[in-house]
Amino acid sequence: MLDVVRSRKFNATGVTWTRGIATISLLGATLLGCDTHSKATRLIDGDELTVSMPLNGSSNDVFLVAQPPRVPREIIPTPPGVKITKTAPVIKGEVVPVPPGEPETVTVMKVEKAPDREPTKMGAAAESISASGGAGLVGGAGPELWQSWPTPQTVLFVTGNQHGYIEPCGCTGLENQKGGLARRFTLMKQLTDLGWPLVPMDAGNQVRRTGRQSEIKFQTAAAGLAEMKYEAIGFGPDDLRLGVGELIAVAAVDNPADGRFQSANVVLIDPSLMAQAKVVVSGGRRIGIASALDPKTLEDGQNDEIQVAEVQEKMEAALELMKRGRSDFNVLLFYGDEEAGKAIVRQTLGIDLLVVSGGYGEPTYQAEKIEGTETRMIVTGDKGMYSGLVGLYPDGPPRYARVALTHEFADAPEMRALMRAYQDQLQSLGLAGLGLKPVAHPSGGKFVGTKTCGECHTTALGVWQNSAHALATQHIVSPGERSDISRHFDPECISCHVTGWNAQSYYPYETGYVGLEVSAHLTGNGCENCHGPGASHSAAEGKDSGIAEAERDALRVAMRLPLENAKERCMECHDLDNSPDFHKEGAFDDYWAEVEHSGLD
């Protein structure tokens, strides 16, 4: 767990300086200090530490921001016996010289073309078309069939707005859900097996919530993107809500040229910690990449630790860095509104491709030409359900295709290992380690379990026992699909698969489910999830309960759920993510027919 720690005062003696960074040895750790005006102060308990902060001025009273030392290790450990293979292109660094006195915040990376191989069988998830849309970025109304492309010089592999959906949950069947890191990596492997060099880039927003689970999910996503050799990763507003310590632990590196995270307008404590722009050499092309976050997307405003400047203020500097790297095709990864992104491009000459993330819905079939410019725009869609491919050619226009990551792409074993490690971490920490403490139910009531309800409501109990609700917990202990990884330690799965949790906020109520053994009476999605905690009602119905008749009757009324209100309650779990069919016209009537019950026997 990361904690806030304030250091003792240091004297200037014994401090060595390298490129403006102060290095201090203390208790076997290498510490890079920052002045007292920085409030980001995070350490990892029990670990050897490296602090990534510049020492501004001569102040001796310092705060420390810590991250693991720069040694080869995975943020999420790979389970024993799982072999990690690397099929992405080999990366070699080539730093662009920067004029004296200016920070080194741009790097050029050279991507070697993968060796020629026999083409592998393509996943069937590419869009089918009846009439080709033509040359991708230059027009057409229909989708582009990327398997029909001639071999490109290089392919820009574009993603964004994963929003916490690192894998499809499977609640409504994996064949009905798109997305996931495991499918994405399989697509990348298929492309590299064709000998197509890739330049993977992501517009940001890996998570959607805060808290310990989201921190672990962010680390998992970052580890997956590193495994897939992403060259540039931006930030979304939900990423920033995790706090500067979590972001620096993943994003900051000793040499910004080696970092994957970058931003033209987001600064974590000090601009020297991350590159503002990057140039990647791939297939003979020099791809300039900058990412930016629209400050208007921030709900919580600015703070001293994370600064987000207006995008337009920083774009000229980012383009200048790409120019020094001799880029010949420039990309802006923009998290924000499409119209805001277009406005930036119209005021900034030199952007060839605008990638917009942050909206909802599916990406368009074709890139859009931004009026008044030569720039094309594509969107990522949300929840990581699609990958965008932009093929570059020496003597023709770029081509664009969106690829739906459906079940027809097999899961890459490397990402499956990462998902297992993620679930193992949740299990190891437990609910308390994840910061989840049971809270009182809004009604003030206590849970007793479906069996107690069934002592009087025997017909309703029989209906429940023959429904999928009764097996809800078993469905995450032993999933029917991807059954090798249990999910009954994952609060985002538990909340709708047991009794006594807040379905949409992922925390337990007092006397609600906390574990398979201690809460066996609360397994399954039981009566009390819809009707409310039943302890007072069941006690009042007991013989010689001593409860007055009027109070007993009031408790009975409180437990009733009128049919006209039931649909809204059902949608707490049957939401668009996990049960899209439930939202179709007339679907509620069909679902209700499977569990219909009323009153006493």
Residue 366 pLDDT: 93
How far, in Å, CA of 496 to CA of 507, rounded?
11
Q: Backbone phi, then psi, for 555, in 5-degree steps?
A: -70, -35
Residue 64 pLDDT: 38
Residue 36 pLDDT: 29
Burial of 586 (0-12, 13-18, 19+ CB in 10 A): exposed
Residue 140 pLDDT: 54
Residue 120 pLDDT: 32
CATH of domain 437-595: 1.10.1130.10
Burial of 80 (0-12, 13-18, 19+ CB in 10 A): exposed
Q: In this structure, are residues 289 and 274 in contact, taking their beta carbons and an 8 Å threshold?
A: no
Q: What is the DSSP code (8-state) at residue 507?
A: E
Residues 6+ apart with CB under 8 A from 539: 545, 547
Q: In this structure, are residues 331 and 288 in contact, taking their beta carbons and an 8 Å threshold?
A: yes
Residue 252 pLDDT: 85
How far, in Å, CA of 264 to CA of 406, rounded?
33
How far, in Å, CA of 341 to CA of 123, rounded?
32
How far, in Å, CA of 510 to CA of 504, rounded?
16
Residue 464 pLDDT: 97
| CATH 1.10.1130.10 location in the chain | 437-595
How far, in Å, CA of 168 to CA of 384, rounded?
10
Burial of 29 (0-12, 13-18, 19+ CB in 10 A): middle
How far, in Å, CA of 19 to CA of 440, rounded?
54
Q: pTM for this one?
A: 0.78
3-class DSSP assignment, residue 35:
coil
How far, in Å, CA of 181 to CA of 162, rounded?
9
Query: 155-416, superfamily in CATH?
Result: Metallo-dependent phosphatases (3.60.21.10)
Burial of 98 (0-12, 13-18, 19+ CB in 10 A): middle
| CATH 3.60.21.10 location in the chain | 155-416
Intervals of the chain under pLDDT 50: 1-136, 138-139
